[in-house]
Amino acid sequence: MTLLAEDGDTDAARGDVDQQFTELYAEYWPRIRRYIASRMDRGQAHLAEDLAQEVFIDFWRDYLLPGKEVFGPFALLCGMAKFRLLTHLSKKKNNEKALDFADPINAPIVATGHAYAHESPELSLSSRALEAAMEQMATASQTWRDANKKWHRLRTQLANESSANKGGLTAATRQRMTQELEAVDTGEVAALRDFRLICQQVGQLRAEVEAVGGGNWSSSSGMPASAGTRPCLAGSRSDPTVTHCPKGHPLDRANTYFHSDGDRECRSCKSSRTAISQAGRRSPVRATGGRSLTDTIPAEVLQQARDMLADPGYLHLPITQIAKQCGMAQSTLNLRLGSDVASLRRVAREKRLAQTESPALVSA
């Protein structure tokens, strides 16, 4: 179906547009309303009619009035309805900040008993200050958790150098990482102190809002109403009294991973699950037929490589070919022998030079 705005008199063109809109509205409005209602929560299905009306208004304003050519109006209306629905759902996330009381999106919170006084300027100011403080609290939490992750990573790499570099750490790298760890440790302590201060400020503002709101405002969790619907279960990860994970690992600073929602997770258990998951994703073909692991190279093979590198007769071969003849990759050879590769090749060159300068040795 093609829709075109007729040229000519403005009134006639407007009449044609209105006629087209009336026909399309009568034909597609029930289907668009059902399309939106089927994708909304059951408690908000009554809003589907309003969203469908907005879709048709946008369609009339953006396509029919300018005289744009439209092929397949139903598909276009469904796309516009999807965009309108996604916009509505994104705004619905404001329930996590149940402080913008004038926002109609927060009407379900008001219906649950968290009412407020529109005409109270003191409550309005307190709620705005609380919302700003909660945003600062989220930022401070992210800063502290990032510092904690970096502190744990540096501490783990220094405790197990092979995790940072398979060949180990040089003295300069170890010193640099140690200094960086000390700086991160100091920064984490400061970030945690700032986070606790802003949390205390949020608690004070919550108390002020509850005091001004009176009986119409009730909140004992210290969090917005939507977050308060998920209680803290005894023994769960969010229970602050738990000191050990279910497997008995201590939930101390070095063994605790902090989530953004306040939950704590055992790092030992988390690492074990990650290792099991990575092992399950490995291809069996690659595990059996891939490159040999460096810790499975026999000592006699390494000695053969040393002898070939020190032999002047193999100077014409590149290190890649020597490693291949020994049944390993050049990277494995460099990893296992390290600086000995260069020193052994130097010995081979010195031997060949000595043979060149001593003809008697060559004839012998």
Residues contacting residue 240 through CB under 8 Å, at least 6 positions apart: none
Q: What is the pLDDT of residue 99?
A: 46
Q: What is the pLDDT of residue 332?
A: 82
Encode the chain in three state secondary structure.
CEECCCCCCHHHHHHHHHHHHHHHHHHHHHHHHHHHHCCCCHHHHHHHHHHHHHHHHHHHHHHHCCCCCEECHHHHHHHHHHHHHHHHHHHHHHHHCCCCCCCHHHHHHHHCCCCCCCCCHHHHHHHHHHHHHHHHHHHHHHHHHHHHHHHHHHHHHHHCHHHHCCCCCCHHHHHHHHHHHHHHHHHHHHHHHHHHHHHHHHHHHHHHHHHHHHHHCCCCCCCCHHHHCCCCCCCCCCCCCCCECCCCCECCHHHEEECCCCCEEEHHHHHHHHHHHHHHHCCHHHHHHCCCCHHHCCHHHHHHHHHHHHCHHHCCCCHHHHHHHCCCCHHHHHHHHCCHHHHHHHHHHHHHHHHHHCHHHHHC
User: Tell me, what's the pLDDT at 103?
Assistant: 56
Tally of residues, the chain: 364
The per-residue pLDDT for 4 is: 47
Phi-psi region of 248 (alpha: psi -120 to 50; beta: other; left: phi over 0): left
Domain 2-96 has CATH 1.10.1740: yes
Task: Scan for tokens 């390494």, then name that residue.
Answer: 302
pLDDT profile of the chain (364 residues), mean per 10: 48 74 88 86 75 89 84 88 84 52 53 46 74 87 90 86 68 88 91 90 82 54 41 56 78 82 82 79 49 63 88 86 84 83 87 74 47
- pLDDT of amino acid 182: 92
Q: Where are the domains of the chain?
A: 2-96, 121-228, 236-281, 294-363
What pLDDT, on a 0 to 100 scale, did the predictor assign at position 173? 86
Q: Is the pTM here over 0.85, yes or no?
A: no
Look at residue 291 in the predicted model and tell me its pLDDT.
46
Looking at residue 236, what is its pLDDT? 55
Question: Phi/psi class of residue 282: alpha, beta or left (left: φ > 0; alpha: ψ in -120 to 50)?
Answer: beta
